[in-house]
Structure 1
Amino acid sequence: MSELSHRKRMEICLAGEIADRPPVALWRHFPVDDQSPDGLAAAISNFQRTFDFDFIKVTPASSYCIKDWGVSDVWRGNPEGTRDYDETLIKDFSDWEKLKVLHPRKGHLGQMLECLELIVKEFSMTTPVIHTIFSPLSQAKNLVGKENLLVHMRACPDAFKTGLEIITQSTLNFIEELKKTGIDGIFYAVQHAQFSHLSISEFQTFGRFYDLQILEAAKSFWLNVGHIHGDHIMFDQVCDYPVQVLNWHDQQTSPTLSEAQEQFKGVVCGGLRQWETMVMGTPQAVYQEAQKAIDQTVGSRFILGTGCVIPITAPYGNILAARHAVESQKE
Structure 2
Amino acid sequence: MGKQSKTLQLMAVKLGLNDEDKVLSKAAEFERLLQMKSTANTITDTAKAVICLDLAASFFKFDLDLKTAIKCSGLKSPSYTNSKKIVENLLELNTDRLTVPGLCLMLQCNVQELAERILEEYRRTAKIELDMSLPQYVCMAVHQACRISKVKVPKSKLVDKSQLKPGQWGKLDMEWTKFTDKKFAVAKKKRGKSAKTDVIEQEDKMDVDGEVIKKDEQITEPQIEPYEDWKQRILEAAYKELRKQNKNLDKQHKNLDEQHKNSDKHNENQSKQTNKQMVISFSPRRSPRKTPQKYEPYKSPVKNTPVKAVRLLFNL
The TM-score with structure 1 as length reference comes to: 0.21
The TM-score with structure 2 as length reference comes to: 0.22
Larger Rg: 2
User: Which is richer in strand?
Assistant: 1
